[in-house]
Structure 1
Amino acid sequence: MSQTDAPASPALSASRHWEWQYLDLMRQIRDHGSERVDRTGVGTKAVFGATIRCDLSGGQMPLLSTKRVYWKTATREFLWFLTGDTNIRNLCAQGVEIWTDWPLARYNRETGEALSLADFSARIVADADFAARWGDLGPVYGKQWVDWPVYDPAGDGLFRRRPAGINQVAQVIESLRHNPGSRRHIVEGWNVAELDGMALPPCHKTYQFHVADGRLSGALYQRSADLVLGVPFNLWGAALFIRLLALHCDLEPGELVWMGGDVHLYSNHADLVEAQLARSPSGSAHLDIVRRPDSMFDHQIGDFVVSDYAPQAHLAAPVAV
């Protein structure tokens, strides 16, 4: 390892803007990543195994400043996860289109039509029957988080599904409140039995939470990490998860530890990567949660206010479906 590649000292790391970790990882993949053929056919450069740590004390949030991240969109998606809904209709009605590409691709493929995203989304919102037929994503994220299916023996080798599954988030809240020292504060999205029914198997798959000295920290393991498009949203979502749990368990926010498995840059994001690496982080976004409803599941987008966020110009990139 050359001197320029050597890890920074703890003192230096503490003084650096957290976002340098993200940019350093981007540069590492660009310069040293392995070229791979991926599921989408677009092609990537990737490394295996990476970590980013973010301090959440004092309202700090990991919101990129070297490009604009639409935190309200990410927050609406997170609140949608907490409902357990698996249909994009509610998201589309809010102008959130981050999940629309997958059902649109299926619709165009199976019908032979070529609807635009805007037309497809509008029809999803306007037509409940159309949304039911074409807007469902299968048992993705939120379904596993708050309604993990459970089957009981029904005799003669048969099993009957319980009317309500396991609400992992509610269980973690109870565990944090009553057994904070547990090492089992986990929310898992990787339900092997249901992967084939999902439009996209969970990328941000495993969350674990940890209480020490009245502070709640959380770790996210992300099996597949699109560093340009996905990870900025996933960092925000994981930090928001910690902030909400801390609020409803009367704890202070601690640290987010993000861990990526296959961390990659798509080949069609090369221009964006160069533009972003030419920038330097600035400022420090803070989140205030201005209302505490009785339940973590009852938050609305108006409960969240971000301050001190002045991102540099937006950088657009195509999604690989």
Structure 2
Amino acid sequence: MRYLPYAERTPDGQYRELLRRVLDEGVRVPTRQGPAALTLMQQTMRFDLANGFPLITERSLGSFWRKPIGELCAFINGATTLEELAEYGCDWWGAWATEAKTSKRGLAPGELGPGSYGGAFHSFPSLEQPEGFDQFRHLVEQIRELPGDRTHFVSPWIPQYLVRGTGKTPKATIAPCHGWVHVRVLDGRLHLHMFQRSGDLPIGVPSNMVQYAALLLMLEHLTGHEASTFYHTISDAHIYEDQADAVRVLLDREPRRLPTVGLTDVGMKIDDIHDFRGDHFDVTDYDPHPSMPGIPVSS
């Protein structure tokens, strides 16, 4: 990845402006989570990685920023239980794998289900492959072999496992919110568009920005095509009403330059996408505003 020198980068306010837009223009809707949410549809941010890695500066993510990368690595490797996620440093999924949630879906406590991210990414149901189809292995292979193709695509959605309604039992404790990935190689450079069904802007989205920009760096390393641009589209972008006061504090903070994120020396030796971990990434030039107790780094 060829970053501009830090002093030559333009401060990036896209995330802050998205918060402002949803707070000012969002439609108030009821939610299952309790508080109503202010919601806007189809919001997109575009990050030229030469101008910095999309690790937000409106508040500090401290050392937590590697954990979302570890989570994505867990999903790429097929993690579908709390025990498996813990092996990658993910300790925030407990509320989604309680006995109350799992028993309704015929799952054991601690299981997220075969319709969760790990099941879809690593073991997508396939008649031809009883063990399931590994989407990310295929993604890397296809980019290497057919870089100009328009079909470099990954989906977290297994429809038959995510049905809802009378007499229907989903096989996931939460429907995937992010992870529809389309990669294009244009003029020899990688462009990655991540579509997100649902995005909690103050808490979840900053982690998703990090995860999929890091994926772009992984693909750069594994395919030899230089990382260019990360596009992040959120179909349902929302701020819960009990987050609004904290968001207003963020809106008073001026945008800052985005930092430099790259692979460590160990990360540079990896040749299989399944071998990446969060600690294979390092950051420099990170100068965020202070963290905010009112907005935790994870949900």
Question: Contact 2:99/2:110 (CA < 8 Å) preserved in 1?
Answer: no
Q: CA deviation at 1:16?
A: 4.8
The answer for the alignment partner of 1:208 in structure 2 is 182
The answer for the alignment partner of 1:286 in structure 2 is 260
Percent identity, aligned pairs only, is: 29
CA separation in 2, counterparts of 1:36 and 1:105? 29
The answer for the alignment partner of 1:146 in structure 2 is 122
- Please give the per-residue CA displacement for 1:194-248, whole angstroms capped at 9, x wherever unaligned: 1111111111141000101121010011111111111101111111111101110
2:24 is aligned with 1:31: yes
CA separation in 1, counterparts of 2:28 and 2:78? 36
SS at match of 1:197: coil
SS at match of 1:106: helix
SS at match of 2:97: helix
Question: Contact 1:68/1:314 (CA < 8 Å) preserved in 2?
Answer: yes
SS at match of 2:229: strand
TM-score by length of 1: 0.79
1:218/1:303 Cα in 2 relative to 1: closer, same or farther (>3 Å)? same
1:59-208 matches, within 5 Å, as 60-69=52-61, 70-92=64-86, 95-104=89-98, 106=100, 133-139=108-114, 140-151=116-127, 162-195=129-162, 196-208=170-182
The answer for the alignment partner of 2:33 in structure 1 is 40
Q: Which moved more, 1:293-302 or 1:218-227?
A: 293-302
In structure 1, stretches of 5+ residues that fail to align are: 1-13, 111-131, 153-161
The answer for the alignment partner of 2:214 in structure 1 is 240
Question: Contact 1:85/1:142 (CA < 8 Å) preserved in 2?
Answer: yes
CA separation in 2, counterparts of 1:210 and 1:320? 30
Count residues in correspondence. Answer: 275
2:261 is aligned with 1:268: no
1:311/1:48 Cα in 2 relative to 1: closer, same or farther (>3 Å)? same
Computed over aligned residues only, the root mean square deviation of the Cα atoms, in angstroms, reads 2.4
SS at match of 2:122: helix
Question: Contact 2:125/2:133 (CA < 8 Å) preserved in 1?
Answer: yes
- Please give the per-residue CA displacement for 1:260-281, whole angstroms capped at 9, x wherever unaligned: 1111000111121011111112
The answer for the alignment partner of 1:126 in structure 2 is none
1:301/1:50 Cα in 2 relative to 1: closer, same or farther (>3 Å)? closer
Q: Which of structure 1's runs of 4+ aligned residues deviate more than 4 A?
A: 318-321
TM-score by length of 2: 0.85
CA separation in 1, counterparts of 2:191 and 2:152? 11
Larger radius of gyration: 1
Question: Contact 2:10/2:257 (CA < 8 Å) preserved in 1?
Answer: no
CA separation in 1, counterparts of 2:201 and 2:175? 17
Question: Contact 2:92/2:298 (CA < 8 Å) preserved in 1?
Answer: no
SS at match of 2:269: coil
The answer for the alignment partner of 2:166 in structure 1 is none
